[in-house]
Amino acid sequence: MCPRLKAVSNSNTELGDSWEYEPAPEGTRPEISDSYGLFIDGEFVEPSSGKMMKTVSPSTEEVLSEVGVADAEDVDRAVSAARTASAKWRRIAPRERAKYLFRIARRIQEKARELAVLESMDGGKPIKESRDIDVPEAAKHFFYHGGWADKLDYAFPGRQAKPVGVAAQIIPWNFPLLMAAWKIAPALACGNTVILKPAETTPLTALALAEILQEVDLPPGVVNILTGAGKTGASLASHPGLNKLAFTGSTEVGKKLAENLAGTDVRLTLELGGKSPNIIFEDASIDQAIEGIVAGIWFNQGHVCCAGSRLFVQEGVVDEVLEKLDLRMQSLRIGDPLDKNTDVGAINSRAQLRRIRGYLTQGKKEGAELHRVRGPKLPDKGFWMRPCYLTGVQPAHVVAREEIFGPVLSVMTFRTPEEALRRANNTPYGLAAGVWSDKGSRIFDVASKLKAGVVWCNTYNRFDASSPFGGFKESGFGREGGRQGLRAYLNLV
């Protein structure tokens, strides 16, 4: 037996036997100030109202720090700082702009461990994900876009690429630092200035990024970061001084923003929710597909807009898939995000936990059967949920139609590729999809008919800065990443 594994007796478990690893706690502890102001014009300043809000660790409910709540007056200050900075920043030689992006990327790498720990503390995601995905990908976005800064005319041959101007960027809580990098890097590379609004529950890594921007001497006002709640977002989105708004978050808020900006000349991109299908054909490598299902839905507690939350399994292999899926699910370790063995961390907030539980109750009421991870009792403090899947789900059920944004998989079956396609596309969303088959021709055929911005074939939830990402239908419009993503931050003349 592996010496680091020990059997856990029934007395310590809520739902039966399980295996537990010895703890492997992360040693690094980032410095967290008691209080952070708003980052405007290159400096941390008090919010004009003096109002602060607490940010807590969702795994312990411990207060980590307090941050400023920006109101309309602060938004005005930030937009005017960005406007003033824009006049200079757009004229800096592109190769000089690139150097700032490379410096930011390198500084993120130097501080990678601290940033990863901070992300896991503030947001609840397991350290192995923030360490291996969020932070390295954030650095990559700055490296990648730094590379484009002096080649924009080649990205769009025959056209002259001009910055759009001042961009407001509103981001959610599921990938706080990565989303900030994802938004800021292309905007800066294209010569724009930015006002970023992080989500209420996860402000700390955006503020750590603000410190990095100071360290690399980014000119004041080029990036401004306003913390606060939804009201801050709403007042930023409606400020008349913007040229561009980029939003990632719920479809509900996205629709409101689209309505408000209709008829104005503010450029808008929306990256919204999803209910992405993951389709397993009989001839797929089932063991490989199981890993893809796990990565698709239980990664980051299911807090992923492109989560493969609807699983479609061809009838002939459904028993095998469910048996293997259950076995794999039981091996997931849930708990302290700062333990390097943890696979599934804490749900981001109490409100989100309540929302997910509401969906489970609804699913059971509609006749679905719940299968969840057994294993040790979950901590008393914090917001926890066992990863689970639902069988007996019908396409009309709420759990098959609405985005749950939690570790909940709805399993359905199909007989023919046509049926799989019809059911997969039967959704108002169109962000991502997965196809699993041994047959290349089937993969190409099905992938080309899926109405989704990203289709993963024999894999799931893979990202790269050079690969455009975005949705169809109610999942939004516009692309982020890659050459296509630059388009949103440029006027081509």
Active site residues: 271, 305
CB of 104 to Mg ion, least distance (A): 23
Q: Are 436 and 288 in contact (CB under 8 A)?
A: yes
Residue 279 engages ligand NAP in binding (rule: CB under 6 A): no
> Choosing among Mg ion, ligand NAP, none, which partner's interface includes residue 229 (Cβ < 5 to 8 Å by kind)?
ligand NAP
Helices marked H in 35-111: 72-89, 94-110
Among 37, 42, 47, 273, binds ligand NAP (CB under 6 A): 273
- Residue whose C-alpha is closest to residue 89's, from 187, 208, 211: 187
> Choosing among ligand NAP, Mg ion, none, which partner's interface includes residue 55 (Cβ < 5 to 8 Å by kind)?
Mg ion
Residue 299 engages ligand NAP in binding (rule: CB under 6 A): no
The whole-angstrom separation of Cα 196 and Cα 248 is 12
The whole-angstrom separation of Cα 470 and Cα 452 is 9
The residue among 256 and 374 lying less far from ligand NAP, judged by its C-beta, is 256
Q: What per-residue string of b and e applies to 46-69 under the rule 16 or more CB within 10 Å gives b?
A: ebbeeebbebbbbbbeeebbbbbb
Distances in Å between the alpha carbon of 335 and those of 75, 113, 396? Answer: 38, 20, 34
> Choosing among ligand NAP, Mg ion, none, which partner's interface includes residue 307 (Cβ < 5 to 8 Å by kind)?
none
The whole-angstrom separation of Cα 259 and Cα 243 is 16
Residue 248 engages ligand NAP in binding (rule: CB under 6 A): yes
Q: How big is the site for ligand NAP, counted in residues (CB under 6 A)?
A: 25
Residue 478 engages ligand NAP in binding (rule: CB under 6 A): no
Q: Are 342 and 127 in contact (CB under 8 A)?
A: yes
Residue 194 engages ligand NAP in binding (rule: CB under 6 A): no
Sign of the CA dihedral with 252 first, then 301, 394, and 431 last = positive
CB of 241 to Mg ion, least distance (A): 30
The residue among 273 and 382 lying less far from ligand NAP, judged by its C-beta, is 273
Distances in Å between the alpha carbon of 265 and those of 155, 240, 242, 425? Answer: 24, 10, 9, 32
Among 55, 57, 59, 174, binds ligand NAP (CB under 6 A): 174
> Choosing among ligand NAP, Mg ion, none, which partner's interface includes residue 234 (Cβ < 5 to 8 Å by kind)?
ligand NAP
DSSP state of 313: E
Residue 479 engages ligand NAP in binding (rule: CB under 6 A): no
Among 41, 134, 200, 336, binds ligand NAP (CB under 6 A): 200
Residue 405 engages ligand NAP in binding (rule: CB under 6 A): yes
Distances in Å between the alpha carbon of 88 and those of 97, 102, 103, 165, 247? Answer: 11, 19, 19, 11, 25
Helices marked H in 91-203: 94-110, 112-123, 127-129, 135-148, 152-155, 176-189
The residue among 98 and 199 lying less far from ligand NAP, judged by its C-beta, is 199
Distances in Å between the alpha carbon of 25 and those of 29, 307, 337? Answer: 11, 28, 9
The residue among 55 and 193 lying less far from Mg ion, judged by its C-beta, is 55
377: buried, middle or exposed (CB in 10 Å: 19+, 13-18, 0-12)?
Answer: exposed
Distances in Å between the alpha carbon of 217 and those of 92, 163, 189? Answer: 14, 21, 16
The residue among 122 and 403 lying less far from ligand NAP, judged by its C-beta, is 403
Residue 378 engages ligand NAP in binding (rule: CB under 6 A): no
CB of 328 to ligand NAP, least distance (A): 25
Among 112, 199, 313, 424, binds ligand NAP (CB under 6 A): 199
User: Which listed range, 215-223, 232-240, 321-329, 365-373, lies at the site for ligand NAP (CB under 6 A)?
Assistant: 232-240
> Choosing among Mg ion, ligand NAP, none, which partner's interface includes residue 49 (Cβ < 5 to 8 Å by kind)?
none
Binding site for ligand NAP (CB under 6 A): 170-174, 197, 199-200, 229-230, 233-234, 237, 248-250, 253, 256, 271-273, 305, 355, 403, 405
